[in-house]
Structure 1
Amino acid sequence: MARWEPHTKERLARAALELYSEYGYERTTVAQIAARAGLTERTYFRHFRDKREVLFDGAHSLETTLSEAVAAAPGGASPRAALAAGLDAIGLAFQGAREQARTRQAVISAQQELQERELIKLASLTRVLAEALRLRGVEETRASLLAEAGCGVFKTAFVRWVGDERPRGGASAGEVALAALLREGLDTLGDALARD
């Protein structure tokens, strides 16, 4: 086997998702994942600490995308506008990944252990968002509340996006949907708070 394999991490992630979907998370081993990817177990453990982490590898990248987008919002932007910029960036980050996200969500939904890890990931995303807002000068309590609300919008939109069974009319229509659902969710939240 070659010393360096191109796209190793992506191959392992794809193999894991395929096997988890086919046989279930509990019945899949790291050895099976490595074999499906054409790699060794040792190579697997160079990239992932255990078989669970392969499903959550993108969390840090998502946090970075969110915090950088909030920071890059124009200086005079309101906290809500900065939050919207972050959610827009997340929508773009998932472009073209709906089927993979659906498969991953089905695997996670079938295992309590994975659901708990997903909640930890969401809590971390909330902390990152609150910190990004605080760095823009948003008062701490307000930043925390906006971050909680923003991550609630993300969670709700994501669940709708992966669960939507309507015909898509082409890949691009499905790819844009998460961004639209995120904006819709943020607008709905704003309307609900304004009316109450």
Structure 2
Amino acid sequence: MSNTVALDKSINKNKNRSVKRSNVIDANFAKYVEVFRKLLLLNEKNDLATTLKNIQELMSFSEKIFSSSAVSEAFLYFCLHGAATAWVLQCELNMPEATVYRALKRLRAMKVVVPALKVSKVKRSKGGPRPTVWAIETSSPDEIAKALKLHYKMLSPKYRVAEEVAQTILDEFQDSGKPLEIQYRDIMGKAKELKIPFKGPDIADLAAQYLHERGIKVWR
């Protein structure tokens, strides 16, 4: 009987050590997340080229930690924006749905992200669970609200088409090394060139906003 009690105490001690070790790791990783956030947010005043270069360097470093480019990209997105839904990550990072959910599962297991709120279903939506806004511990209510707003925006077919137009323009900028500015009429021209199924001005306005948010000067 005494042997059994001794064994139980040993197990409890090991559990306590494990819990303490886990708490230390969680605290250290929280600091690590905060450092990454600060490094990324410093880029808000940089031009697009500098920002992309800095993010690429941070991504390369974080890939070594997570051993996964998808998890690394999702992690950096959360560091930069604070919160996101799976759908937002899928659209913003151009990732397959299954890859996004695997990345979220990994980040949640590491306690990098936590569920912040459930998203209300839109009308005429299919069945299934309600989407979740995921957030890092230090995210602000404003960041969570922005993630929710972006989720609904990205469900819009018009927004998805405008994003495609804007991304095509961004790709051309990166390939050609052109100055980071564009005329509004050129956005309209690109929309017509891609033969979009919506009115040109509607898509051009959304595309212009998308480009502006990514550091491109739009002249009207």
If the TM-score is normalised by the length of the shorter chain, which range does it land in? under 0.3
Q: Please, what TM-score do these two structures have when normalized by structure 2?
A: 0.25
Bigger Rg, which one: 2
Q: Higher helix fraction: Structure 1 or Structure 2?
A: 1
Q: Please, what TM-score do these two structures have when normalized by structure 1?
A: 0.28
Higher relative contact order (CA 8 A, sep 6+): 1
